[in-house]
Amino acid sequence: MPVATNDGVSCYYERAGAGDPVVFVGDVGYGAWQWGWQHAAVAGPYESVVTDVRGAGRSDAPPGPYSVPDLVSDLVSVLSDAGLRSATVVGAGLGGLVGLEAARTSGRVDRLVCLGSGASGADLDLEPLYGSPEDPETLERSLERALSAEFVDAHPDAVRQMVAWRSDEDAARAAWEAQAAAVADYSLAEPYRVTTPTLVVHGLEDAVWPADRGRELADALPRGEFVGVEGAGHLVHVERSKPVNDELLGFLADA
């Protein structure tokens, strides 16, 4: 089980497949379960590297608050530990901010995919996404805010499975707040400097990160492209995995 270390913080990651590397960086509070659908699509033609953001899963949860630069340093540590000079980075929510800042500052990002993210986390209310790993009822209620009502109604078994995964992997309250602080404090400086090809995918029914933030991000980037997914909420890559994976694999194939 590979673990990278950044200034005493252990950052867990898993890798599978062969080919050009694709590194996944998750959203506030969620464990690596959120990438199961994309990992299955990518591993094989590409190398899939799934990380646990500090505070969640099997990574350390040092006292917060955290910052996006902290998480960029974690990402660079994972790349270095894995022997990767650079990679495509796929980030959801908070992970999208990490990918943007890494592309702006590190030179380690070849291509970038931002899912349900934007250029800034200011003025977002992330509280509806929190669920205590020890309380299945709050986990289920928070999923109802992260997913579309149609998905929740149509896939009760999938929602129950996500609750079980979240109980095992998601961040406890203190770590969740530390990650949320990183979102609240971040705003992308000089977006014109992010010349990395960037695909921005957003659920058009996202009740937490408005889709307009995704559009604005794509418009601000020199090589940004926006794709809106009808009927999807914040966890667009979970509930609409097939169209998202189609966009992701098409974007990777264009490299």
Q: List, for residues 87-104, the tens digit of each pLDDT value.
A: 999 999 999 999 999 999
Q: List, for residues 197-219, the tens digit of each pLDDT value.
A: 999 999 999 999 999 999 999 99
Q: Is the pLDDT of residue 41 over 90?
A: yes
Q: C-alpha distances in angstroms, 93 versus 153, 160, 211?
A: 24, 23, 12
- Cβ neighbours for 210, distance < 8 A, ≥ 6 positions apart: none
E strand segments, 7-124 = 9-16, 21-25, 47-51, 87-92, 109-115
Q: What is the pLDDT of residue 197?
A: 98
* 1 — pLDDT class (breaks 50, 70, 90): confident
Domain regions of the chain by residue span = 3-122+171-253
Q: What average pLDDT does range 100-122 have in this prediction?
A: 97
Q: What average pLDDT does range 43-54 have in this prediction?
A: 96
Q: Is the pLDDT of residue 255 over 80?
A: no
CA 228 centroid distance within chain: 17
Q: What CATH number labels 3-122+171-253?
A: 3.40.50.1820
